[in-house]
Amino acid sequence: MRNPRLLFDKVIDYSVEDLINLNVTGNILITRDANTPAGDPVVVNLSNLADVQALSRIVVENGATVVAGGGLASVGAIKNITVDGGTLELGGSVIAANVLRALLEIHG
């Protein structure tokens, strides 16, 4: 069986308060896994993103949490946000609601 981590250009499996510039092309996986430090709830704050280059997809899973608001409004390169067993907290002027509906997938 293939390693699902290989399908992502960047895996974030620890809490990050401030991702000012995220220069990643492709897909990002935000997850709690065996590499997550003990006791880390994996909360990633994307609110202050200033620059995202050709970011196709963000996947949030396994109890991880993504906080989005403010600066994320200018991110037009994100084509899909998938929440599968994780949490997406939206605040402020994240993105127009009609655009968000087209981007967001929520599973079980």
* Every domain of the chain and the residues it spans: 4-107
* Mean pLDDT in residue range 75-80: 62
pLDDT digits (tens, 9 = 90+) for 23-68: 666 788 999 999 999 999 999 887 766 555 556 688 999 999 988 7
> Is pLDDT at 93 greater than 60 in this prediction?
no
Is the pLDDT higher at 24 or at 16?
16
Task: Return the closest-CA partner of residue 8 out of 74, 76, 55.
Answer: 55
Position 33 scores a pLDDT of 94
CB 68 within 8 A of CB 47: yes
Question: 42 in the Ramachandran plot: left (φ > 0), alpha (ψ -120 to 50) or beta?
Answer: left
